[in-house]
Homo-oligomer: A and B are copies of this chain.
Amino acid sequence: MNDTIEVTEAEVTALYEKIKRDAESGGYILNPDMSFTLPLIRGLAVNMKRYGYIACPCRLASGVRGEDKDMICPCDYRDPDLAQYGACFCALYVSQEVADGTKKVKPLPDRREREKAKSPAQNKVHEKLSHPVWRCRVCGYLAARDEPPAVCPICKVSKERFELFLS
């Protein structure tokens, strides 16, 4: 591991723009506080050079892609954390309320640690499906997740417009 990995401003800016574009096209919101967000993006850019993938800058990466797969940004825990806390573990992604300043982000526990501590039986909540399937009543979009997305990535209506489709 090399502790002196350097990234240029141009690299950080390019990565920021890619991540922001991908976020917005799916209805996700990056933390608008740039003094907070840019250091996180810089951490991602450093991890890209160090490991070859954008490992979460707020967790300890193993450096083995297969072991870190669930914490490549956006991590597998982003969406449940957004639903429960209004922010991902790093607070790089935030809810509309947090972005608007009407809700404050508090430090949150690492869902990854909790998931790993669970026995397989606990992980299997549903008899047949690993996650319930939600349906957007407007466009019919289906997503298999614990809760509906904050915004339908297809037609951009809000979470309240989803209904349980399969469980």
Contact = CB atoms under 8 A, between A and B. Distances in A.
Contact of A69 (B79, B153, B161): B161
Contacts of A78: 138
A15 interface: no
A143 interface: yes
B149 A26 contact: no
A12 interface: no
Given A139-B26, A140-B145, A154 B157 contact: no
Contacts of A143: 139-142
A163 B69 CA distance: 12
B144 A149 contact: no
Interface stretch (A41-49, A96-104, A126-134): A126-134
Given A72-B161, A131-B135, A140-B144, 17 more contacts: A25-B25, A26-B155, A69-B161, A72-B157, A74-B138, A74-B155, A74-B157, A75-B138, A76-B138, A76-B161, A130-B165, A133-B142, A139-B145, A139-B153, A140-B145, A140-B149, A153-B155
Interface of A: 22, 25-26, 28, 69-70, 72, 74-76, 78-79, 129-131, 133-135, 137-145, 149, 153-157, 160-161, 163, 165-166
